[in-house]
Amino acid sequence: MEDNKQQQTEVKNFYGGIYFDRCQMTDIKFQTIVQGDMHVEAEEANPIQNDGEMAEEEQENTSLNNLIFSPSLFATAERLGQLRDLIASALEQLQGKNELFWLHAALDDAEVMNFQTKDVEFINQMQEWFPDSPWLNCSARSIANAISTERNKWLQEGERVKVTNLRASRQQFVKMMQNSHKIDRFIHIAYDGLYKGVMKLKAEFRK
């Protein structure tokens, strides 16, 4: 008789640290608990993006003023926002207001600014977009003088070096500047970073 009882041992199932037999698993209350837990786990694995954060980001892009960039290429607030993000990333790597020259040069070589955008116009746009930057919180004249001074350091045959030629001209400028680290940093910021990023954006916009 005891052997028979042992053969009739209930099959147990484990859930959430508690054992349930088959009858309990078919109970509606148990199934409700399990389904509820599965729903919670799914929400935790796939959190819903906060509507407020999305609205704030959209509002920030909508408020961007375009003073110097091609209106046909950057025809939407979203596109302007993407451009601003690229410039912001480059701006964070600068070590002085004179180095704003490299942002201007990269954007100029990428041909995304209006024809022959002057330094002061470029500065006005940057101050509009990045008022809290330590390199932009002084007078436009002061920044323009710093940019002009930096530009004169990077001339080839009387013209400022193009960021697209900077790597090929590296050895020439290393001899002139005696500072390979500075040149490599500008290649990283202006060419590998901002210029290539903007060119990638242009290609995506034209698809």
Q: What are the tens digits of pLDDT across the range 161-205?
A: 999 999 999 999 998 888 899 999 999 999 999 999 999 999 999
Average pLDDT over residues 31-47: 44
Tens digits of residue pLDDT in 81-104 = 999 999 999 999 999 999 999 999
Q: What is the pTM of this model?
A: 0.71
Residue 112: partners with Cβ closer than 8 Å, 6 or more residues away:
69, 70, 73, 74, 83, 198, 202
pLDDT at 109 over 70: yes
The pLDDT value recorded for residue 21 is 45
**In which band, very low, low, confident or very high, does the pLDDT at 66 lie, cut at 50, 70 and 90?**
very high
- How crowded is the C-beta side of 160, counted as CA atoms within 13 Å? 16
15 - beta bridge partners? 18
The pLDDT value recorded for residue 26 is 46
Taking the alpha carbons of 159, 163, 165, 167 in that order, is the dihedral positive or negative? positive
pLDDT at 148 over 60: yes
pLDDT at 136 over 70: yes
Looking at per-residue confidence, does 203 or 30 come out higher?
A: 203
The pLDDT value recorded for residue 12 is 42
Mean pLDDT of the chain: 81
**How many CB atoms are closer than 10 A to CB 73?**
16
